[in-house]
Structure 1
Amino acid sequence: MTPDRSSTRRAHARRFSCAIDARWTRFTRALAGAGAVALIAAALAQWGMLPDPDPASEAEGFVAIAVLGAVLLAAIFAALWPVRPRAAEVLRFDGALWWWDRPGEPLAIVPEVFIDAEHWMLLRLRARDDEGRALGHRARGWLALSRRGLGPSWTTLRLHLFLA
């Protein structure tokens, strides 16, 4: 008979200060700006305010290039807009459950690693019930984290997210 090697120990309680990554903020702004301009251009084309692109016509080709340039300029402008510093948000693990301390109030959450790129990850934070299960499918918040932003606590956070 093999001995029971399972442990009844719990993971240690930890606190992770998560600074808001300015690069992530700029990326999402650029994506939103480009999407808004592309949506406006599509609506104008649908209503007949922009000519249909025809490869035989130079004028219509210039309109298509101008629309693409406007989308690119909107993305660049949104990305270069200054990012206001915000208070760091805190993820707490009490040994059994996760908490998200935002400015204002703590929220009981279930963190899910949505994207993991080794040096960067995107967490989807979902509210949880008293038994630790996620409530619904809607995210209460998203948190973009980087190795550079978390420093020495990066590895510990990853271990807690994947193993605790």
Structure 2
Amino acid sequence: MAFTANLSLLVAAFLAAVAPVLSSPTVNEVDNRISVRSTADLGLPDPQPGKINCGIYNTADRPNAIQINFDLAENVNTCTTPPKTCRRHACWNTSGVFICNDSDLNVTLECGTVARFAGIIIDDCCRGKGAGLSGQVFSDQGWNAVVSYANCNHDRDADRPGMGPADNPWGPNGSCW
């Protein structure tokens, strides 16, 4: 009985010491930005997809998007996006996968989570005959994933999802319908 009570006290002390670390954001020593740990690190549920918008950006090439999403799904690292910005996390030829962060904190996700959301766009958007693909799916945690045209020669923070000029709004990869 005494052993069980001591073990319970030890576990309680450990949890009391660790809980503030797990529940609080971390400060990056380099740029003093606050980061949210990945949901897996915090023991929180996986982000859930919400609203999806299809065909709202210059298009990615569907076969390229499928390949880069496969590569992203195999990536065991984390994908971090600074506050109030979009960052390209994968790119091949003229196709990219972005995370847009609407929050005031860095968002750090397992790259596999980014791939899961991009896969929703690949599966649900632009199912016509053409190779063009673009879309955006929102998470329940203040960020959204985008699959669209990307210039892989640009810095990952300089490239942004967007629509092209009126005479060629879809870009080089064809229309999305």
TM-score normalised by structure 2 residue count? 0.22
Which one has the largest radius of gyration?
1
TM-score relative to the length of structure 1: 0.24
